[in-house]
Amino acid sequence: MVDGLKDMIISGGENVYSVEIENALAQHPSVLQCAVIGIPSEQWGEQVHAVVVKRSGVDVSAGELIEFTRTLIAGYKCPRSIEITEAPLPLSGAGKVLKRELRKPFLENRERRVN
């Protein structure tokens, strides 16, 4: 249940739903797979961060993807940072993305954790 609750990111007092951002990113032709998580931010409490698996043989930048999402969703919902990889996202036995695994590197050595 914790992963389901974290599909909502509270950034600067605004509720941002990761599925909306994932749907926008997935429309880009270079994106094979993506997941959106909230990561700790001193300024906003949480900030929107995306992990994108790009299609092989294509080049795409984080800036290009952020600008692409701006054409589809409100600016405050757009990712503040994007990690682009070719490695597949970690999946559960049921085929769901394990967002807690994606959050781990951002939460290590932090006193306050984003649940």
For every residue of the chain, which 3-state class applies, written as one string? CHHHHCCEEEECCEEEEHHHHHHHHHCCCCEEEEEEEEEEECCCEEEEEEEEEECCCCCCCHHHHHHHHHCCCCHHHCCCEEEEECCCCCECCCCCECHHHHHHHHHCCCCCCCC
pTM for this prediction:
0.86
What CATH fold (topology level) applies to the domain 2-107? GMP Synthetase; Chain A, domain 3 (3.30.300)
Residue 110's pLDDT band (cuts 50, 70, 90): low
Token digits of residue 35: 């997941």
Per-residue pLDDT tens for 39-96?
998 888 899 999 999 999 999 999 999 999 999 999 999 999 999 999 999 999 999 9
The full set of domain ranges for the chain reads 2-107
pLDDT digits (tens, 9 = 90+) for 8-38: 998 888 899 999 999 999 999 999 999 999 9
